[in-house]
Structure 1
Amino acid sequence: EDGFITVTRGGRMGPARQEEAQEKAEKQKEKQKGKEDFYRFQMREKRKEKANELLKGFEEDRKKVEAMKMKRNKFRPN
């Protein structure tokens, strides 16, 4: 041995806990992924899509409630 030390990436010891290691891996993955809504028009489109989904869900719920009301008020003689 000639006294040289091979330098490796990272610290002397890894993360102490497994949870910390998972968090670190998730953060790294997120960084590499990048922002999905980088441009303003993308944010606007996403907001519009969410609003449309809410409206669609509201309409479906209203139809369900109407159907339940009709079913409840139906006259059933014995």
Structure 2
Amino acid sequence: MTTTPTPGEAALGYEQARDELIEVVRKLEAGGTTLEESLALWERGEELAKVCRRWLDGARARLDAALAEEEQEAGDTGGAGE
């Protein structure tokens, strides 16, 4: 269930999205904002969380692929000497 990121989301790296998300959470926790401002912050936080999740899912897929390839290579060479 991946959605196509908006151009702004696609330009954000994981660290940038994470740092901005932390700032959004701080502002929401601090309070003192209007309902409209709070809703806008919440929506932005949701967008940033999706960006972070996409990056993490992509990293997990790459790691899984690398581990599977390593296991495949080990299996191919492991039986040769027996």
> What is the TM-score with the length of structure 2 in the denominator?
0.48
Q: Who wins on radius of gyration, i.e. which is larger?
A: 1
> What is the TM-score with the length of structure 1 in the denominator?
0.50
Counting helix residues as a fraction of each chain, which structure ranks higher? 2
Relative contact order, CA 8 A, sep 6+: which one is greater?
Answer: 2
